[in-house]
Amino acid sequence: MKAAIYKGIKDVTINELAMPVCGENDIIVRNLYASICGSDINAYYHGGDSVRIFKGFEFGHEMISEVVEVGQNVRGLKLDKESILIL
């Protein structure tokens, strides 16, 4: 999977990461659409520490995603149901 990795001011890279393993209390989603917010822009231009975006962390958190895997203890979500995630 692809991920935007925050490296520092004006430095973000797109990296290929291994697909995470779905634990019994987790869900795995496939992003369909993504956006950025004011915190992302501020981190890009001025540094991310104040908004808890640290070097080496994945960047971005606002997206529309499709649920592709559901852990056995998760209730209320089904496969292939679009979910809006704002984390």
pLDDT in tens, the chain (87 residues): 889 999 999 999 999 999 999 999 998 888 888 888 888 899 999 999 988 899 999 887 788 888 888 999 998 877 766 666 655
Q: Which residues constitute the domain of residue 60?
A: 2-86
Half-sphere exposure of 11 (CA within 13 A, CB side): 8
Neighbour-count burial of 49, counting CB atoms closer than 10 A to its CB (0-12 exposed, 13-18 middle, 19+ buried)? exposed
> For position 6, what pLDDT does the model report?
94
The CA distance from 7 to 18, in Å, is 19
Number of domains in the chain: 1
How much is the pTM?
0.73
* CATH code for position 53: 3.90.180.10
How many C-beta atoms surround the C-beta of residue 58 within 10 A? 12
